[in-house]
């Protein structure tokens, strides 16, 4: 790979790494034709660039700027803007010589946070000379940068600058190119290198993530024993899961678990094959996803499972019952007298009644049973491996609702109408048939006005 091609590839890797692994969702990396001095009179031109996260109109603006000569000046690296080895320029202090200005298309609302026209510049330095720059924008957390938060960016920029300088004067061999990839991520990921079934290298971040000392990691056999037992399948056999990404649980030395994205690369170390593992802590993301999944299947008012969960999961329950030839029962339930609660006490009080009645129903069933808020004041119960016993539950449930209503709504009678249908392997009705039967029986009871306790 020749020098110019390699330069562009290094810049592409830099901006891709920034967008994937840091809070910033836009990144623009440029290489200058000659070093730029941090002074108002110093100027140079942009040789080439790479960008991520720009909309087409903004990337066109950058492309035109570079193609038309791309003059940049050193005023933006004034000491008053310095933040660590970076430069943070608030929107109201941007020098007039800075061009092109690409305004953020997001709205930032924190009074002391990031602004749409703020600039964060990280110089690409080699031996004190600024040979290019990394410009980032659109932090997803909306926070202004701090010395601590820019250190990862500065480490990436420092390593990138060295690689760029080398790429301009020689062709890099494959091993050095791959090793650069790992070093470039070093500031923000754990790095482990495996060779001959053992760890040969562990960086500080890997030590921090796993909680083992470096010596303990290097002595670990088999090397994949830090992976949770339930996640080890890809590592069995020859212990070479191949290149790519895996998301797995890992077990720390203290016994706690952590979710990791493991990015796996084949490489050559001292002339022999090896694996390089990059470890990214994704525990927060996984927990957020689990929370969102939970919210997607829960009714926000009562906390019960919702109709979407029933529609998705009932077929699995049906297949399980078919396989083991065991019955299950669907119970339809409707609160009798609930309309009067809303009419006389208001919907806010009606919501309170629904929440507390949901707790009463949940307390009467087994842990393996499902309680669904089916809509309005209708509930649906799914009772695995239950047939004739449902009548006992029905009497208990009616009694519990009546007692709760007597204690909490003495002026308004409130009860519950129930109807049910049981799947059995002999008749094997469909789910739709079960629902129709249970619904018809519930309305038959409602019309009959029965209130047996």
pLDDT in tens, 229-243: 888 876 655 555 655
The residues spanned by each domain of the chain are 3-167, 189-285, 297-448
Q: Distance between CA atoms of 114 and 99, rounded to whole angstroms?
A: 20
The pLDDT of residue 1 is 44
> Is the pLDDT confidence value at 209 over 70?
yes
Reported as a pLDDT band with limits 50, 70 and 90, residue 452 is very low
How many CB atoms are located within 10 Å of the residue 410 CB?
8
Mean pLDDT on 294-323: 87
> Is the pLDDT confidence value at 35 over 60?
yes
Mean pLDDT on 407-432: 91
Fold matches, 3-167 and 297-448: no
CB 327 within 8 A of CB 321: yes
CB 92 within 8 A of CB 119: no
Q: Distance between CA atoms of 54 and 34, rounded to whole angstroms?
A: 26
Q: Is 275 exposed, middle or buried (0-12, 13-18, 19+ CB in 10 A)?
A: buried
Range with the poorest average pLDDT among 187-201, 311-325, 346-360, 434-448: 187-201
Reported as a pLDDT band with limits 50, 70 and 90, residue 175 is very low
The pLDDT of residue 304 is 92
CB 405 within 8 A of CB 414: yes
The pLDDT of residue 453 is 35
> Is the pLDDT confidence value at 445 over 90?
no
Phi, psi of 379 (to 5 degrees): -125, 155
Question: What percent of the chain is modeled with pLDDT above 90?
Answer: 39
| CATH of the domain spanning 189-285 | 3.30.450.20
Range with the poorest average pLDDT among 85-94, 237-246, 392-401: 237-246
CB 356 within 8 A of CB 341: no
pLDDT in tens, 333-369: 999 999 899 888 998 999 999 999 999 999 999 988 9
Q: Distance between CA atoms of 104 and 58, rounded to whole angstroms?
A: 10
Q: Distance between CA atoms of 203 and 186, rounded to whole angstroms?
A: 8
> Is the pLDDT confidence value at 200 over 50?
yes
> Is the pLDDT confidence value at 47 over 50?
yes
> Is the pLDDT confidence value at 187 over 50?
no
The pLDDT of residue 146 is 92
pLDDT in tens, 92-108: 888 888 878 887 877 76
The pLDDT of residue 176 is 46
> Is the pLDDT confidence value at 30 over 90?
yes
pLDDT in tens, 109-166: 677 888 888 899 999 998 888 999 999 998 888 889 999 889 889 888 888 888 887 7
How many CB atoms are located within 10 Å of the residue 221 CB?
9
Reported as a pLDDT band with limits 50, 70 and 90, residue 22 is confident
| CATH domain 297-448 topology | Alpha-Beta Plaits (3.30.70)
CB 262 within 8 A of CB 243: no
> Which long-range CB contacts under 8 A does 206-211 form with residues at least 24 apart?
206/279, 209/250, 209/252, 209/258, 209/260, 209/279, 209/281, 210/250, 210/252, 210/253, 210/258, 210/279, 211/252, 211/253, 211/254, 211/256
Residue whose pair of structure tokens reads 């193609």 in the numeric block: 67
In the predicted model, what is the mean pLDDT of the chain? 85
Mean pLDDT on 164-182: 53
Which CATH homologous superfamily contains domain 3-167? GAF domain (3.30.450.40)
Q: Distance between CA atoms of 163 and 204, rounded to whole angstroms?
A: 22
Any residues with CB less than 8 A from the CB of 415 and at least 6 apart, and which?
335, 336, 337, 398, 401, 402, 405, 451
Reported as a pLDDT band with limits 50, 70 and 90, residue 177 is very low
pLDDT in tens, 363-386: 999 988 999 999 899 999 999 988
CB 3 within 8 A of CB 171: yes
Any residues with CB less than 8 A from the CB of 57 and at least 6 apart, and which?
none
CB 166 within 8 A of CB 150: no
Tokens coding 161: 């600058």
Sign of the alpha-carbon torsion through 274, 15, 48, 85: negative
The pLDDT of residue 449 is 62
The pLDDT of residue 184 is 43
Reported as a pLDDT band with limits 50, 70 and 90, residue 254 is very high
CB 354 within 8 A of CB 301: yes
């Amino acid at each position: 790979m020749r020098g110019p091609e390699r330069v562009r590839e290094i810049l592409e890797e830099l901006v891709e790494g920034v967008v994937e692994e840091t809070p910033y969702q836009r990144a623009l990396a440029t290489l200058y034709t000659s070093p730029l001095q941090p002074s108002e009179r110093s100027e140079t031109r942009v040789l080439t660039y790479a960008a991520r996260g720009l909309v087409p109109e903004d990337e066109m603006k950058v492309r035109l700027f570079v193609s038309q000569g791309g003059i940049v000046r050193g005023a933006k690296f004034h000491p008053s803007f310095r933040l660590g080895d970076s430069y943070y320029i608030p929107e109201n202090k941007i020098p007039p010589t800075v061009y092109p200005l690409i305004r953020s298309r997001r709205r930032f609302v924190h009074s002391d946070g990031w602004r749409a026209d703020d600039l964060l510049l990280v110089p690409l330095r080699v031996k004190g000379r600024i040979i290019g720059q990394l410009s980032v924008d659109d932090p997803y957390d909306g926070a202004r940068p701090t010395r601590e938060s820019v250190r990862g960016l500065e480490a990436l920029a420092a390593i990138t600058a060295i690689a760029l300088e080398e790429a301009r004067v020689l062709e890099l061999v494959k091993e050095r190119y791959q090793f650069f990839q790992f070093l470039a991520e070093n500031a923000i990921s754990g790095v482990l290198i495996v060779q001959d079934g053992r760890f040969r290298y562990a960086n500080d971040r890997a030590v921090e993530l796993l909680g083992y000392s470096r010596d303990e990691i290097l002595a670990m056999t088999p090397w994949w024993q830090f992976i949770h037992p339930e996640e080890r399948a890809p590592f069995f056999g020859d212990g070479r899961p191949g290149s790519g990404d895996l998301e797995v649980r890992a077990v720390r030395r203290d016994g706690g678990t952590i979710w990791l994205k493991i990015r796996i690369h084949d490489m050559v170390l001292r002339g022999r094959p090896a694996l390089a593992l990059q470890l990214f802590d994704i525990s927060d993301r996984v927990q957020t996803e689990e929370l969102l999944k939970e919210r997607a299947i829960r009714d926000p008012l009562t906390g019960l499972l919702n109709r979407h969960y029933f529609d998705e999961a009932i077929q699995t329950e049906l297949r399980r019952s078919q396989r083991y030839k065991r019955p299950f029962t669907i119970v339809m339930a409707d609160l009798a007298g609930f309309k009067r609660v809303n009419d006389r006490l208001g919907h806010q009080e009606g919501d309170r009644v629904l929440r507390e009645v949901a707790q009463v129903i949940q307390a009467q069933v087994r842990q393996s049973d499902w309680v669904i808020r089916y809509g309005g004041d209708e509930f649906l119960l799914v009772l695995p491996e239950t047939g004739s016993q449902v009548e006992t539950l029905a009497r208990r449930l009616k009694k519990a609702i009546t007692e709760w209503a007597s204690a909490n709504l003495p002026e308004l009678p409130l009860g519950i109408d129930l109807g049910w249908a049981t799947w059995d392997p002999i008749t094997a009705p469909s789910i739709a048939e079960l629902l129709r039967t249970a619904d018809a029986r519930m309305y038959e009871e409602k019309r009959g006005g029965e209130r047996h306790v």
